[in-house]
Amino acid sequence: MIGAAATVRQASGADAGLIVELYNQYVLQSTATFEEEPVDAPGMTSRIARIQEAGLPWLIAEIDGEFAGYAYGAPWHGRSAYRHAIEVSIYLDHRAMGQGTGTLLYRALFTALRQRDIKTVIGVIALPNDASVALHEKLGLRKAGQLDRIGLKFGRWIDVGFWQGRLDSQEPDL
């Protein structure tokens, strides 16, 4: 994948199999998600549809036509006053890491969210995760808080940090 041409497009239900294959690696091998059981394609198709029916983007990155990862925005909370705040998530194929794919995906996601009048994005990061922290901070998000020992996975307690960025600011990277 190194040196290849990357593109971003909207996800569809037809992408669910590829998304599940990647996501389940994170479920089974990582604390990046607090899910502990693998997800199936029909369940992922429903998740994609729910996000898109809410008017939010779910984006796919491809490198030379090959699936490389995805990112999406989900409602921060259900209360109406939160309608301008979105939780952002990103998952990359390990072969696409360190090549700018995450930056490309998040910039496209932030552009799509701005068009929907979203003002704030929040990245929720299981800690430690230096690569995710670096990506979020590269794009202008700043640590806004942390919950200690909030999740238990693989027999150990995990902290979660919150990175916040304002899409309505003049920050060049957001």
Give the predicted TM-score (pTM) of the model: 0.93
Check which CATH number belongs to the domain holding 41 and give it. 3.40.630.30
Residue 70's Cβ-count burial label (10 Å; 0-12, 13-18, 19+) is buried
Residue 172 resides in a domain? no
The rounded distance, in Å, linking the Cα atoms of 114 and 111 is 5
Q: Is residue 21 part of a domain?
A: yes
Domain assignment of residue 173, yes or no? no
Angle between helices 101-114 and 130-138 (to 10 degrees): 50
Half-sphere exposure of 163 (CA within 13 A, CB side): 21
Is the pLDDT score of 67 beyond 70? yes
- pLDDT, mean of residues 11-23: 97
Quick check: 59 pLDDT over 60? Answer: yes
Single out the residue of 163, 155, 152, 93 nearest to residue 129, CA to CA: 163
User: Does residue 122 lie in a domain region?
Assistant: yes
The number of folded domains in the chain is 1
58 part of a folded domain = yes
Does 174 reside within a domain?
Answer: no
Residue 125: domain span = 6-166
Give pLDDT tens digits for 21-54: 999 999 999 999 999 999 999 999 999 999 999 9
Q: Say how many CA atoms lie within 13 Å of 62 toward its Cβ.
A: 10
Task: Give the model's pLDDT for residue 5.
Answer: 82
User: What does the alpha-carbon distance between residue 113 and residue 119 come to, in Å, rounded to a whole number?
Assistant: 8
